[in-house]
């Protein structure tokens, strides 16, 4: 399917800046720090920050750290199977890439970089509505298991066009995000003069000037464009203006009836992301959706919302095996993934982990993030006496 968004595809044929030596990154936190050094503060904080006091942002990490593992010894762990079933197909790791918007602000072509890394790792990749690569660009440049995430816009014909494009491009699943009736209050952005439409101020100009590697790309090629949203508002001609139009076009009236209409109209797998309540999870399963993602939008929406790992057991119990449950939020270690599996998740979704990698070093950085998590997961399984992901259960939790 050809669209006007294809006219921007040449932006992804550029020679990227020389990446850092990612082999020297030993943790996701190492990649985070590398991204922080490379990016202007306003851009890094846009990716890294959360809403208001960032209580939920921090608690997403702390929830994993509050629980301990109970290893079982004298098991032959010479061979480890990290594969698992995700939405009816085998994935090489119990992971999928979560939808992350505006990745190109961190690394030009970053969406494609992460999608390629995911395909190479044998896991699904989810393209955000607010990505800086189009539905078609991802399908052409990064063939693999592709899911498309749709925000619910007031402009329903435009939203339907996006969904139709995803179907035409053979995306395996549609992900509907349901925790964004309005945008969260992200105060880091205010303090950094980061706004949409973008305003150049003395503060952020000085910030940009201190990061010449990032700035030279912007000066040469301009701000990336949120490709899928071109045409949403005729006056929106650049990335920041388009982002602003999205904010004005979220539909706070979207309800269960609206979700059912999408379920009835989409012929493939439908995933609902942004569920914390067991009652909501049960209702999602009952209406014929194919998976639920326990998510609080990475702590970027309702500050004070329950940590996703803490919400997971209630959702798993309510679903009772009817449909798969994925966990999103705060995953930074392979042990986090193991804990999620042990508590009943089929897998986790990775947002910031691969975003940090891509922002630090493009595709090699995103691949390094996945390699780090795989290595840590395998090591955790071996140390706990677990030979396959399906063997992880609550008996390993303390």
| C-alpha closest to that of 208 among 224, 219, 197 | 219
| C-alpha closest to that of 259 among 293, 295, 232, 283 | 283
Do residues 338 and 69 touch, judged by C-beta distance below 8 A? yes
Do residues 259 and 178 touch, judged by C-beta distance below 8 A? yes
| C-alpha closest to that of 325 among 333, 334, 313 | 313
Measured distance CA(284)–CA(44) in Å, rounded: 34
Measured distance CA(271)–CA(178) in Å, rounded: 10
Do residues 329 and 298 touch, judged by C-beta distance below 8 A? yes
21 burial type by CB count under 10 A (0-12 exposed, 13-18 middle, 19+ buried)? exposed
Selected catalytic residue, list 38, 297, 352, 368: 297
Do residues 224 and 359 touch, judged by C-beta distance below 8 A? no
17 burial type by CB count under 10 A (0-12 exposed, 13-18 middle, 19+ buried)? middle
Radius of gyration over alpha carbons of the chain, in Å? 20
Assess whether 211 carries a catalytic annotation.
Answer: no
Do residues 292 and 326 touch, judged by C-beta distance below 8 A? yes
Measured distance CA(131)–CA(227) in Å, rounded: 7
Q: What is the 3-state secondary structure (H, E, C) of 255-304?
A: CHHHHHHHHHHCCCEEEEEEECCHHHHHHHHHCCCCEEEECCHHHCCCCC
Q: Catalytic site residues?
A: 297
């Amino acid at each position: 399917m050809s669209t006007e968004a294809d006219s921007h595809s040449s932006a992804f044929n550029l020679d990227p800046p020389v990446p850092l030596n990612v082999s020297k990154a030993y943790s996701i936190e190492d990649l985070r720090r590398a991204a922080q050094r490379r990016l202007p503060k306003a851009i890094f904080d846009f990716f890294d920050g959360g809403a208001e006091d960032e209580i939920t942002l921090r608690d997403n990490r702390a929830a994993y750290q509050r629980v301990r593992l109970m290893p079982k010894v004298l098991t032959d762990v010479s061979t480890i199977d990290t594969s698992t079933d995700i939405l009816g197909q085998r994935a090489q790791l119990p992971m999928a890439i979560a939808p992350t918007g505006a990745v190109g602000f961190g690394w030009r072509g970053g969406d494609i970089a992460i999608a390629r890394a995911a395909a190479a790792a044998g896991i699904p990749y989810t393209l955000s509505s607010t990505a800086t690569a189009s539905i078609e660009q991802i399908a052409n440049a990064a063939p693999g298991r592709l899911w498309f995430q749709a925000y619910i816009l007031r402009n329903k014909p435009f939203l339907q066009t996006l969904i139709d494009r995803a179907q035409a491009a053979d995306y395996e699943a549609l992900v509907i995000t349901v925790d964004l009736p309005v945008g969260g209050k992200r105060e880091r952005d205010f303090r950094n003069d980061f706004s949409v439409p973008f305003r150049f101020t003395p503060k952020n100009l000085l910030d940009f000037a201190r990061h010449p590697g990032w700035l030279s790309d912007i000066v040469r090629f301009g701000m990336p464009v949120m490709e899928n949203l071109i045409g949403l508002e005729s006056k929106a001609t650049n990335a920041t203006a388009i982002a602003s139009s999205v904010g004005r076009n979220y539909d706070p009236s979207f309800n269960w009836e609206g979700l059912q209409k999408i379920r009835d109209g989409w012929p493939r797998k439908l995933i609902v992301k942004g569920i914390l309540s067991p009652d909501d999870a049960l209702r999602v399963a009952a209406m014929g959706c194919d998976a639920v993602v326990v998510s609080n939008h990475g702590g970027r929406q309702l500050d004070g919302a329950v940590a996703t790992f803490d919400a997971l057991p209630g959702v798993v119990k309510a679903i009772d095996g009817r449909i798969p449950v994925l966990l999103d939020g705060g995953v930074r270690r392979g042990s986090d993934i193991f804990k999620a599996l042990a508590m009943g998740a089929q897998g986790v979704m990775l947002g910031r982990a691969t975003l940090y990698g891509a922002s630090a070093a493009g595709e090699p950085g995103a691949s390094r993030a996945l390699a780090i998590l795989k290595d840590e997961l395998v090591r955790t399984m071996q140390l706990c006496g677990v030979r396959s992901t399906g063997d992880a259960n609550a008996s390993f939790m303390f």
